[in-house]
Amino acid sequence: MENVDYSMRKELPGVDFEEALDRVEAALSDAGFGILTEIDVKATLKKKLDEEFKAYRILGACNPNLAHRALTEDDNIGLLLPCNVVVAETPDGAEVSFLRPSSMLSVAGNEGVMPVAEEAEGLLREALDAV
């Protein structure tokens, strides 16, 4: 698993895209996150631009309890929700990337939401490890 400033990533060699997507959804569910949105980037680029692209899905994951706590602290924090998760096809299998909530919510400049961000990040790290 590789960490970039704003993301946590894990390569899944030998795992096809659909299996990776299933694993991610199950791991997120086990960590208390539901999927609010799903963007099929490959299908969208084909439809809108007639361009071919690899299998690439953006999931908007949300833990309702954590979202409620963050929104109670700062109701504008909804601009930074939900937590984005990317599942992408690679030449060797698939790759999963989770947005680090601490990096996203830090832009709000509200220290009151940071404990929520850190808790969410911990749960997402566990989910990523379980994928």
**Predicted local distance difference test score (pLDDT) of residue 27:** 98
Q: Return the CATH number at 106.
A: 3.30.310.70
What is this structure's pTM? 0.91
Nearest CA-CA partner of 99 in 87, 115, 89: 87
pLDDT tens across 47-61, in order? 999 999 999 999 999
pLDDT of the residue at 98: 96
Q: How many domains does the chain fold into? A: 1
User: pLDDT tens across 10-69, in order?
Assistant: 999 999 999 999 999 999 999 999 999 999 999 999 999 999 999 999 999 999 999 999
Of 79, 85, 86, the residue nearest 61 (C-alpha): 85
- 89-130 pLDDT tens trace: 999 999 999 999 988 888 788 888 899 999 999 999 999 999
Query: CA-to-CA distance for 86 and 57, rounded, in angstroms?
Result: 6
- Cα separation of 130 and 46, whole Å? 32
Of 17, 29, 19, 104, nearest in space to 56 by CA: 17
Range of the domain at 120: 2-130
